[in-house]
Structure 1
Amino acid sequence: MTYQTLEIEIKEGAAWVWMNRPDVHNALDEIMISELSNAFTDLGQKDSIRAIVLGGRGKSFSAGADLGWMKRAAEYTEEENREDALKLAQMLQAIAECPKPVIARVQGAAFGGGVGLTAAADIAVAGEYAKFCLSEVKLGLVPATIAPYVVSAMGERQARRYFLTAEIFRAEKAAEIGFVHEHCKDEQLDDLIEGLLSSLGLAAPDALGVAKDLIQTVSNRQLDETLMNETAELIASQRLKPEGREGLAAFFEKRKASWVA
């Protein structure tokens, strides 16, 4: 598939999805939103892909909404605005619910929608000069479509601060509050990601997708008999799947599982 705003690299079973509008700091517009949705849907269905890395070419990860797109949206009707916002929400959902593990590689600015992209990923790592900002309230707006992912990633208490103050917070603070998992020097980002990809490569492909679904199943639910039964049924069915049988056999036979390179 050919993209106008993205560059896709396939390396050793991992897909690197690069937002490729460096001249505008990878700002999101209608085309990029649609292409990100399509890319993650397509790559998520490929058996040959074990994980996906989302990054930005140039100085920034993503500076948020494209100015031209914002100007056009200002002239939309209420229904057109609703449809436009829904496409952004669906793109974030495509990333968050992709059956493959998704790693956000953040360098430079991640503002507005860029914060949402970071939050929608399963794992987020940031370079030392990465900076984040939820600036919407300064424009009389709110970070609505990205809110479910951002609040989940940083927690309600931190969201109360950064949604309301629109402060810039940097990589060290983002790691401190748990919004990103790790931060490092920019030149070490790819080595850090390669280490994560190596760890993911030891896991059974189907189990990774099921594990992602499991997080959604148990998140924000109180442990009760229904949840206990659901999780018991899940592990029972997983043990009987070919991956489960192979993984246990490999463990007891002290050999690599079939999916490990």
Structure 2
Amino acid sequence: MANDTVLWEIDRRGVASVTLNRPQVNNAYNGDLIEGLHAAMDALGREAGLRLVVLRGNGKHFQAGADLAWISGVAKQPPAENERASRLTAEAIRRLDTCPVPTLALVQGGCFGGGTGIAAACDVVVASEDAIFSIAETRWGLMAGIILPQLCRAMGVRQVRRYALTGERFGAQEARRLGLAHEVCPTGGLEAAGAGIIEAVLMNAPGATTATKLRTLAAARAFIDDGELRDLIDEHARARQQPEASEGLASFREKRKPSWYPG
């Protein structure tokens, strides 16, 4: 167990389960959840027999993006603390993206904002038929810069240009067509679908699997270097402290249209 917002365990086969555990807020991420992800990855990195990591969301939803109440609080913090929140988030996504063992995301219900970034950073994604996706940060005056590199590689820049600019929601079959999900299973069938993928991975040599994953990322020029990461963090942190973010978050709290909506 990492902390009560992120649970983890590893079985005798070397298959780790990492579970996002804030079901009361649809597993929306806050500082505790981000730090829990880091703690889980730290712990699993010390497991010599680790073969595969499976990510799940506890409850009805996989991960519903940022906890907007937390975002509002972070935005009011001094610049250094605001930047720290973006750095921890960006580093968690990069660590998941470059995890040396295969990663499998099992997605049900809502997968919004940062949740789509988590999915895009995983090697394999299985979505149940009830899954709904969106990249909707701009609705709240925010921007999804930290996860855009992974989304562009998963979906292609043309599709990201639609869905990150409109904030539209799309279903599991569309996610599969776009490349964000590899497979769609019946609602309630995630564990059965995931079991087949886990078995396939376990049949492969661990060292060769790690080498193949890392070489694939290198061949695709998919590693994010420290300079690019710093730029992503700076831009992400600045956006949270702009007037548009204040207005977007206020419109969400007050259940009204934002001031930039015409008329």
TM-score, length-scaled by structure 1: 0.81
Tell me if 1:60 matches 2:61. Answer: yes
**Residue equivalent to 2:170:** 169
Asked if the contact 1:89–1:145 (Cα under 8 Å) also holds between the matched residues in 2, the reply is yes
Cα shift at 1:68: 2.6
Please show how residues 213-224 of structure 1 align to structure 2 within 5 Å: 213-220=214-221
Residue 3 of structure 1 aligns with an amino acid whose one-letter code is N
Alignment deviations for residues 5-57 of structure 1 (CA, whole Å, 9 cap, x no partner): 12223333211111111111001010110111221232134222210100001
Aligned positions, number:
221
**Residue equivalent to 2:42:** 41
Residue 84 of structure 2 aligns with an amino acid whose one-letter code is E
Asked if the contact 2:2–2:37 (Cα under 8 Å) also holds between the matched residues in 1, the reply is no
**Residue equivalent to 2:189:** 188
Please show how residues 90-169 of structure 1 align to structure 2 within 5 Å: 90-169=91-170
Alignment deviations for residues 140-166 of structure 1 (CA, whole Å, 9 cap, x no partner): 111111111111111101000001000
Asked if the contact 2:2–2:36 (Cα under 8 Å) also holds between the matched residues in 1, the reply is no
Change in 2 beyond 3 A, CA 1:217/1:26: same
Alpha-carbon distance between aligned partners in 2 of 1:61 and 1:103, rounded to the nearest angstrom: 13
Q: Which has the larger radius of gyration?
A: 1
Alpha-carbon distance between aligned partners in 2 of 1:90 and 1:207, rounded to the nearest angstrom: 26
Please show how residues 218-237 of structure 1 align to structure 2 within 5 Å: 218-220=219-221
Asked if the contact 2:133–2:171 (Cα under 8 Å) also holds between the matched residues in 1, the reply is yes
Residue 14 of structure 1 aligns with an amino acid whose one-letter code is V
Cα shift at 1:205: 1.1
* RMSD (Å), alpha carbons: 1.4
Alpha-carbon distance between aligned partners in 1 of 2:4 and 2:198, rounded to the nearest angstrom: 27
Structure 1 regions of 5+ residues with no counterpart?
222-261
User: Which stretch shifts more, 100-109 or 73-82?
Assistant: 73-82
Cα shift at 1:220: 4.5
Cα shift at 1:90: 0.3
**Residue equivalent to 1:257:** none
Alpha-carbon distance between aligned partners in 2 of 1:79 and 1:2, rounded to the nearest angstrom: 26
Structure 2 regions of 5+ residues with no counterpart?
223-263
TM-score, length-scaled by structure 2: 0.80
User: Which aligned segments of 4 or more residues in structure 1 are displaced greater than 4 angstroms?
Assistant: none
Residue 5 of structure 2 aligns with an amino acid whose one-letter code is T
Identity, % of aligned positions = 38
**Residue equivalent to 1:50:** 51
Cα shift at 1:2: 4.4
Cα shift at 1:174: 0.2
Asked if the contact 1:18–1:57 (Cα under 8 Å) also holds between the matched residues in 2, the reply is yes
